[in-house]
Chains A and B, each alone.
Chain A
Amino acid sequence: EDKVVQSPLSLVVHEGDTVTLNCSYEVTNFRSLLWYKQEKKAPTFLFMLTSSGIEKKSGRLSSILDKKELFSILNITATQTGDSAVYLCAVEDVPGGGADGLTFGKGTHLIIQP
Protein backbone atom coordinates (compact mmCIF):
# COMPACT_ATOMS: atom_id res chain seq x y z
CA GLU A 1 0.00 0.00 0.00
CA ASP A 2 1.35 3.40 -0.99
CA LYS A 3 2.11 5.76 1.87
CA VAL A 4 2.96 9.46 2.08
CA VAL A 5 4.09 11.12 5.31
CA GLN A 6 4.44 14.87 5.59
CA SER A 7 6.14 16.85 8.30
CA PRO A 8 5.62 18.99 10.15
CA LEU A 9 1.83 18.73 10.27
CA SER A 10 1.63 22.39 11.20
CA LEU A 11 4.04 25.30 11.18
CA VAL A 12 3.75 28.93 12.26
CA VAL A 13 6.39 31.42 11.11
CA HIS A 14 6.74 35.15 10.62
CA GLU A 15 6.51 36.93 7.31
CA GLY A 16 9.88 36.96 5.59
CA ASP A 17 11.05 33.66 7.05
CA THR A 18 12.11 30.71 4.91
CA VAL A 19 10.33 27.39 5.44
CA THR A 20 11.07 23.82 4.39
CA LEU A 21 8.28 21.28 4.20
CA ASN A 22 9.08 17.58 4.10
CA CYS A 23 7.49 14.66 2.34
CA SER A 24 8.58 11.02 2.54
CA TYR A 25 6.92 8.23 0.64
CA GLU A 26 6.64 4.52 0.00
CA VAL A 27 5.19 3.45 -3.32
CA THR A 28 5.05 0.22 -5.26
CA ASN A 29 6.26 1.61 -8.58
CA PHE A 30 7.04 5.30 -8.42
CA ARG A 31 6.01 7.51 -11.30
CA SER A 32 5.86 11.04 -9.93
CA LEU A 33 5.58 13.18 -6.82
CA LEU A 34 3.39 16.24 -6.79
CA TRP A 35 2.96 19.24 -4.52
CA TYR A 36 -0.33 21.08 -4.18
CA LYS A 37 -1.37 24.19 -2.28
CA GLN A 38 -4.82 24.09 -0.70
CA GLU A 39 -6.42 27.19 0.72
CA LYS A 40 -10.10 27.04 1.55
CA LYS A 41 -11.10 25.23 -1.58
CA ALA A 42 -9.56 23.05 -4.27
CA PRO A 43 -5.91 22.00 -4.24
CA THR A 44 -3.93 23.95 -6.82
CA PHE A 45 -0.97 22.39 -8.56
CA LEU A 46 2.54 23.56 -7.70
CA PHE A 47 5.10 21.04 -8.96
CA MET A 48 5.44 17.60 -10.48
CA LEU A 49 8.76 15.85 -9.85
CA THR A 50 9.87 12.71 -11.62
CA SER A 51 13.66 12.86 -11.68
CA SER A 52 16.00 12.86 -8.73
CA GLY A 53 18.16 15.86 -8.00
CA ILE A 54 16.51 18.30 -10.39
CA GLU A 55 15.13 21.36 -8.65
CA LYS A 56 11.90 22.85 -9.85
CA LYS A 57 11.38 26.56 -9.16
CA SER A 58 8.48 28.93 -9.39
CA GLY A 59 9.13 32.35 -7.92
CA ARG A 60 9.80 31.96 -4.22
CA LEU A 61 8.86 28.27 -4.23
CA SER A 62 11.17 25.44 -5.11
CA SER A 63 11.14 21.69 -4.73
CA ILE A 64 13.51 18.80 -5.15
CA LEU A 65 13.16 15.04 -5.15
CA ASP A 66 15.51 12.37 -3.80
CA LYS A 67 14.41 9.02 -5.24
CA LYS A 68 17.13 7.11 -3.42
CA GLU A 69 16.06 8.31 0.01
CA LEU A 70 12.38 8.50 -1.00
CA PHE A 71 11.65 12.06 0.00
CA SER A 72 11.01 15.51 -1.32
CA ILE A 73 11.18 18.99 0.15
CA LEU A 74 9.27 22.13 -0.68
CA ASN A 75 11.02 25.41 0.11
CA ILE A 76 9.37 28.77 0.37
CA THR A 77 11.63 31.80 0.76
CA ALA A 78 10.65 35.30 1.93
CA THR A 79 7.25 34.01 3.03
CA GLN A 80 4.17 36.21 2.73
CA THR A 81 0.81 36.01 4.46
CA GLY A 82 -0.67 34.79 1.18
CA ASP A 83 1.45 31.66 1.49
CA SER A 84 -0.69 30.54 4.41
CA ALA A 85 -2.34 27.31 3.31
CA VAL A 86 -2.21 23.55 3.59
CA TYR A 87 0.54 22.11 1.40
CA LEU A 88 -0.21 18.62 0.16
CA CYS A 89 2.29 16.10 -1.14
CA ALA A 90 1.09 13.24 -3.33
CA VAL A 91 2.64 10.36 -5.24
CA GLU A 92 1.49 8.47 -8.31
CA ASP A 93 2.32 4.91 -9.38
CA VAL A 94 3.06 3.78 -12.88
CA PRO A 95 0.05 2.18 -14.60
CA GLY A 96 -0.62 -1.28 -13.25
CA GLY A 97 1.57 -0.78 -10.21
CA GLY A 98 -0.13 -0.18 -6.89
CA ALA A 99 -2.80 2.38 -6.18
CA ASP A 100 -4.45 4.30 -8.95
CA GLY A 101 -4.86 8.06 -8.82
CA LEU A 102 -2.83 10.07 -6.36
CA THR A 103 -1.97 9.02 -2.81
CA PHE A 104 -1.87 12.11 -0.63
CA GLY A 105 -0.24 12.87 2.69
CA LYS A 106 -2.15 14.63 5.44
CA GLY A 107 -0.63 17.96 4.50
CA THR A 108 1.35 20.64 6.31
CA HIS A 109 -0.76 23.50 7.63
CA LEU A 110 1.45 26.58 7.20
CA ILE A 111 0.53 29.84 8.89
CA ILE A 112 2.46 33.01 8.10
CA GLN A 113 2.09 35.70 10.74
CA PRO A 114 2.53 39.35 9.71
Chain B
Amino acid sequence: EAGVVQSPRYKIIEKKQPVAFWCNPISGHNTLYWYRQNLGQGPELLIRYENEEAVDDSQLPKDRFSAERLKGVDSTLKIQPAELGDSAVYLCASSTGRGREQFFGPGTRLTVL
Protein backbone atom coordinates (compact mmCIF):
# COMPACT_ATOMS: atom_id res chain seq x y z
CA GLU B 1 0.00 0.00 0.00
CA ALA B 2 1.40 3.39 -0.98
CA GLY B 3 1.88 5.86 1.82
CA VAL B 4 1.14 9.56 1.92
CA VAL B 5 2.93 11.29 -0.93
CA GLN B 6 4.16 14.85 -0.74
CA SER B 7 5.98 17.06 -3.19
CA PRO B 8 8.30 18.74 -3.49
CA ARG B 9 10.55 17.30 -0.80
CA TYR B 10 12.61 20.47 -0.59
CA LYS B 11 11.94 24.04 -1.63
CA ILE B 12 14.12 27.11 -1.34
CA ILE B 13 12.61 30.48 -2.17
CA GLU B 14 13.21 34.13 -1.49
CA LYS B 15 10.93 36.01 0.84
CA LYS B 16 7.80 37.51 -0.69
CA GLN B 17 7.66 34.72 -3.29
CA PRO B 18 4.71 32.33 -3.44
CA VAL B 19 5.07 28.60 -2.80
CA ALA B 20 2.77 25.59 -2.98
CA PHE B 21 2.93 22.13 -1.50
CA TRP B 22 1.04 19.10 -2.72
CA CYS B 23 -0.20 16.07 -0.81
CA ASN B 24 -1.77 12.82 -2.00
CA PRO B 25 -3.22 10.89 0.94
CA ILE B 26 -3.52 7.15 1.31
CA SER B 27 -6.33 5.82 -0.83
CA GLY B 28 -9.59 5.71 1.07
CA HIS B 29 -8.49 8.12 3.78
CA ASN B 30 -11.15 10.78 4.07
CA THR B 31 -9.40 12.85 6.72
CA LEU B 32 -6.39 14.91 5.74
CA TYR B 33 -4.22 17.13 7.94
CA TRP B 34 -1.56 19.74 7.26
CA TYR B 35 0.99 20.31 10.02
CA ARG B 36 3.95 22.65 10.29
CA GLN B 37 7.04 21.53 12.19
CA ASN B 38 9.65 24.07 13.22
CA LEU B 39 13.14 22.94 14.13
CA GLY B 40 13.24 21.32 17.54
CA GLN B 41 9.47 21.40 17.93
CA GLY B 42 6.64 18.96 17.48
CA PRO B 43 4.27 19.33 14.52
CA GLU B 44 1.53 21.96 14.86
CA LEU B 45 -1.80 21.53 13.14
CA LEU B 46 -2.65 24.05 10.43
CA ILE B 47 -5.84 22.61 8.96
CA ARG B 48 -7.95 19.45 8.91
CA TYR B 49 -10.16 18.27 6.06
CA GLU B 50 -13.01 15.81 6.15
CA ASN B 51 -13.36 14.91 2.49
CA GLU B 52 -13.34 18.26 0.70
CA GLU B 53 -14.54 20.28 3.69
CA ALA B 54 -12.11 22.20 5.88
CA VAL B 55 -13.52 21.45 9.33
CA ASP B 56 -10.84 23.20 11.37
CA ASP B 57 -8.59 25.91 9.99
CA SER B 58 -8.34 28.01 13.13
CA GLN B 59 -4.54 27.65 13.24
CA LEU B 60 -4.03 28.61 9.60
CA PRO B 61 -2.62 32.15 9.16
CA LYS B 62 -5.25 33.19 6.67
CA ASP B 63 -3.61 36.39 5.58
CA ARG B 64 -0.97 34.47 3.65
CA PHE B 65 -1.85 30.78 3.83
CA SER B 66 -4.55 28.99 1.88
CA ALA B 67 -5.43 25.37 1.32
CA GLU B 68 -7.75 23.40 -0.84
CA ARG B 69 -8.80 19.81 -1.27
CA LEU B 70 -10.74 19.59 -4.47
CA LYS B 71 -12.71 16.37 -4.94
CA GLY B 72 -11.74 15.28 -1.44
CA VAL B 73 -8.51 13.56 -2.43
CA ASP B 74 -5.33 15.55 -3.17
CA SER B 75 -4.67 18.72 -1.27
CA THR B 76 -2.58 21.82 -1.88
CA LEU B 77 -1.23 24.23 0.71
CA LYS B 78 -0.13 27.64 -0.51
CA ILE B 79 1.80 30.50 1.04
CA GLN B 80 1.71 33.91 -0.61
CA PRO B 81 3.84 35.82 0.09
CA ALA B 82 6.34 33.74 2.06
CA GLU B 83 8.15 35.25 5.03
CA LEU B 84 11.41 34.24 6.68
CA GLY B 85 9.53 32.75 9.63
CA ASP B 86 7.72 30.32 7.34
CA SER B 87 10.87 28.21 7.04
CA ALA B 88 9.83 24.82 8.43
CA VAL B 89 8.87 21.30 7.43
CA TYR B 90 5.28 21.04 6.21
CA LEU B 91 3.81 17.63 6.93
CA CYS B 92 0.69 16.11 5.48
CA ALA B 93 -1.09 13.26 7.25
CA SER B 94 -4.17 11.22 6.51
CA SER B 95 -6.45 8.85 8.37
CA THR B 96 -9.68 6.96 7.91
CA GLY B 97 -11.35 9.34 10.32
CA ARG B 98 -10.86 11.57 13.31
CA GLY B 99 -9.44 9.60 16.22
CA ARG B 100 -7.87 7.04 13.92
CA GLU B 101 -4.17 6.52 13.44
CA GLN B 102 -2.64 9.28 11.34
CA PHE B 103 -0.10 8.34 8.68
CA PHE B 104 2.40 11.05 7.83
CA GLY B 105 4.05 11.88 4.55
CA PRO B 106 7.78 12.64 4.27
CA GLY B 107 7.16 16.37 4.45
CA THR B 108 8.32 19.36 2.44
CA ARG B 109 11.26 21.25 3.89
CA LEU B 110 10.80 24.93 3.07
CA THR B 111 13.65 27.41 3.36
CA VAL B 112 12.82 31.08 2.90
CA LEU B 113 15.86 33.29 2.25
B101 sits at the interface (CB 8 A) = yes
The total of interchain contacts (Cβ-Cβ below 8 angstroms) comes to 58
Contact among B40, B56, B104 for A101, CB-based, below 8 A? B56
Provided the pairs A101-B33, A101-B35 are in contact, do residues A45 and B43 lie with their beta carbons within 8 angstroms?
Answer: no
A49 sits at the interface (CB 8 A) = no
Chain A nearest CB from B24 CB (Å) reads 14
Of the candidates B4, B43, B44, the one having the most CB atoms from chain A within 10 angstroms of its own CB is: B43
User: Which of B43-101 touch A at CB < 8 Å?
Assistant: 43-45, 48, 55-56, 58, 91, 98-99, 101
- A42-B105 in contact (CB<8A): yes
A34 to B33, CA, bound (A): 16
User: Which of A45-94 touch B at CB < 8 Å?
Assistant: 45, 48, 88, 90, 92, 94
- A106-B40 in contact (CB<8A): yes
Chain A count of residues within 8 A CB distance of the other chain = 25
Give the dominant DSSP class at B's interface: loop
Which A-chain residue is minimally distant from B4 (CB atoms)?
A42
Contact among A42, A90, A95 for B91, CB-based, below 8 A? A42
Name the B residues within 8 Å of A102 (CB-CB). Answer: 33, 35, 43, 45, 102
User: Which of B1-50 touch A at CB < 8 Å?
Assistant: 4, 33, 35, 40-45, 48
Number of chain B interface residues as a range? 20 to 34
Give the dominant DSSP class at A's interface: strand
- B44-A104 in contact (CB<8A): yes
Name the A residues within 8 Å of B105 (CB-CB). Answer: 42
- A105-B107 in contact (CB<8A): no
Provided the pairs A41-B107, A43-B104, A48-B101 are in contact, do residues A99 and B45 lie with their beta carbons within 8 angstroms?
Answer: yes
Given A42-B104, A104-B41; 5 other pairs, CB 8 A cutoff: A42-B106, A43-B91, A100-B98, A101-B33, A103-B45
Q: Chain A: residues with CB nearer than 8 A to chain B?
A: 4, 31-32, 34, 36, 41-45, 48, 88, 90, 92, 94-95, 99-107
Could you name 22 residue pairs across A and B whose Cβ atoms are closer than 8 Å? A34-B102, A42-B106, A43-B43, A43-B104, A44-B104, A48-B101, A88-B43, A90-B42, A92-B99, A99-B45, A100-B45, A100-B48, A100-B56, A101-B45, A101-B48, A102-B33, A102-B35, A102-B43, A102-B45, A104-B42, A105-B42, A106-B40
